[in-house]
Structure 1
C-alpha cells in the first residue's frame, strides 16, 4: 500500500526517473516551453522551480550544484540567462496551462509548461 508516500513514479525505477526528469528540465530550459502530460508537468514544475531558486543565488557554489544536476548547456543557460530575469520575483517562475486537446492514443490530459514572462 502507498499510504503517505509522496511523489510520482511514472512506471520507472529510480535511475530512469531521475534521467527522465533531467531530460524534461533540460528541454524546458533550452526551449522555454514544452507540451507534456499534466502529471509530468506538475512534477516538472516543482523540480524546475527549485533549480531556478538555486540559480538566483548567483554564486559559484550554486553554479556547481546546477552543473552536477543538469548537462552543461542547460545549466549555464539557466544560471546566466533565465535566473537573472527572476531576481525580484519570490517564486512562481513557471506556469502550467491545461490544453483542450487530449492525447490521441490514450486520451490523457496534456499541458503546456513555460516560464512566466517578466
Structure 2
C-alpha cells in the first residue's frame, strides 16, 4: 500500500528523478516556459513553486536553500532579482499548465506547456 507516499515515480530512480526536476526547473526559470508531458509538468510544479516562495523571502538562508536545488548561479540570481519580486503580492500559483492538442511522435503521449504566470 502507498499510504503517505506522495509524488509520481515516472519510471525513474530517485537520483535520476531529482536530477531531471533540477534540470527542468532550471530551464523553466531561465526561459519562462517549457514543453513537456503532463505528469512531468504536474510534478515540476510541486518542485518549482516552493523555490519561488523561498526566493520571495530574499535572505541569505533562502538563497542557499535554492542554490542547493538550482546549481546555475545565473538562474538563481534571476530568480531572486526578477522573478520573486514579480510575485510579491501573490500567494502561490506561480505556474500554469496548458495542454496541447498535439501528441509526441514516438509514443503518442499528450504534451503540455508549463509556464510562469505573468
TM-score normalised by length of structure 2: 0.93
Secondary structure of the equivalent of 1:3? coil
How far apart, CA to CA, are the structure 2 residues paired with 1:3 and 1:59? Answer: 37
Deviation, structure 1 residue 64 = 1.1
Residue equivalent to 1:61: 61
Residue equivalent to 2:6: 6
RMSD over equivalenced CA pairs, Å: 1.0
How far apart, CA to CA, are the structure 2 residues paired with 1:47 and 1:91? Answer: 12
The 5 Å alignment of 1:32-111 reads 32-71=32-71, 72-111=73-112
Secondary structure of the equivalent of 1:56? helix
Deviation, structure 1 residue 95 = 0.3
Structure 1: runs of 5+ lacking an equivalent = none
How far apart, CA to CA, are the structure 1 residues paired with 2:67 and 2:8? Answer: 24
Structure 2: runs of 5+ lacking an equivalent = none
Aligned residue pair count:
116
TM-score normalised by length of structure 1: 0.93
Q: Deviation digits for residues 11-61 of structure 1, max 9, x if unmatched?
A: 111111111100000000001100000000000011101110111011111
Deviation, structure 1 residue 3 = 2.9
Larger deviation: 3-12 or 101-110?
3-12
How far apart, CA to CA, are the structure 2 residues paired with 1:95 and 1:86? Answer: 14
Deviation, structure 1 residue 101 = 0.6
